[in-house]
Amino acid sequence: MYGLKQAPRAWYNALKDFLIIYGFLNSWSDTSLFVYNRDDIVAYFFVYVGDLLLMGNNDSFMNAFKIVLALKFSLKDVGSSHHFLGMEILPTNDLFISKQHYVRELLISTNMQDVKPVSTPLSTSCDLTPTSDAPSCDIREFRPIIGSLQYLYLTCPDVSFSVNKLSQYMQAPTEILMKAIKHLLRYLKGTLDHGLHLSRATDLSHNILWFWLG
């Protein structure tokens, strides 16, 4: 199946059919998410290409599901998840998700690892509106940084507005915009320990497992 134009769609449909038969429901808001909710058993199954993330409140169900899944597909169980799609999953009494490692690599790749942090994502005194006489910056440098920043939306919602604003000038970036990007990177340097703390309302023990399909 690999190498065919319709391989991704065929692979997703095959996995989707299997999950629905097993009792999972496909999320309306995100087609990559499947939810199982029966008899006080809750499980979440997330699909990203060949990577699968499973979380649930019942170990017996999860172990049985893994066995059936492995019989249907070529599966490698890599155990508890610590990193997924660039996100760090830190085990606490609840769940803490961050991108500290990702941000550190971004700062190193842009030579911003030793900069002085700032307290805001964007400077309030900076006008980003392009003008005809504004000096342009290297578009080959601007676009990759913007692309990397877009992966921070999930765990850094505080920068979503800034990244969205800067992304509007991808066609003809200026030195002022590059300065704004560096300001945003300085903000990220000062918030490396920030992330999303997800707590549960009930006393459920959720385990997260990561699979790789190949």
List the chain domain ranges.
7-81+203-213, 100-190
pLDDT given for residue 19 in this prediction: 92
Show the tokens assigned to 100.
């500290």
- Return the pLDDT at 21: 92
Query: What's the pLDDT score for residue 92?
Result: 66
Other Cβ atoms less than 10 A from the Cβ of 191: the count is 18
- Separation between Cα atoms, residue 178 and residue 173, nearest integer Å: 7
**What is the structure's pLDDT at 188?**
92
CB 112, CB 145: distance < 8 Å = no
Per-residue tens of pLDDT for the chain, all 214 residues: 555 666 777 878 888 999 999 999 998 888 889 999 988 899 999 888 778 888 888 889 998 998 998 888 887 877 777 777 667 777 666 677 788 888 899 999 999 999 999 999 988 777 777 676 778 788 888 889 998 888 887 678 888 888 888 888 888 888 888 899 999 999 999 988 888 777 765 554 555 554 454 4
CA pair distance 184, 164, nearest whole angstrom: 12
Indicate the CATH number for domain 7-81+203-213: 3.40.1720
Residue given tokens 């309302």 in the structure block? 201
- pLDDT of 207 reads 53
| E runs forming strands in 20-82 | 25-26, 33-38, 41-48, 51-56, 75-80
- Whole-number pLDDT of residue 200: 65
Instruction: State residue 20's pLDDT score.
Output: 93
pTM score over 0.85: no
Q: Please list the alpha-helical segments (H only) found in the chain.
A: 7-22, 59-72, 100-109, 139-149, 160-167, 175-190
Q: At what angle do helices 175-190 and 100-109 cross, to 10 degrees?
A: 140
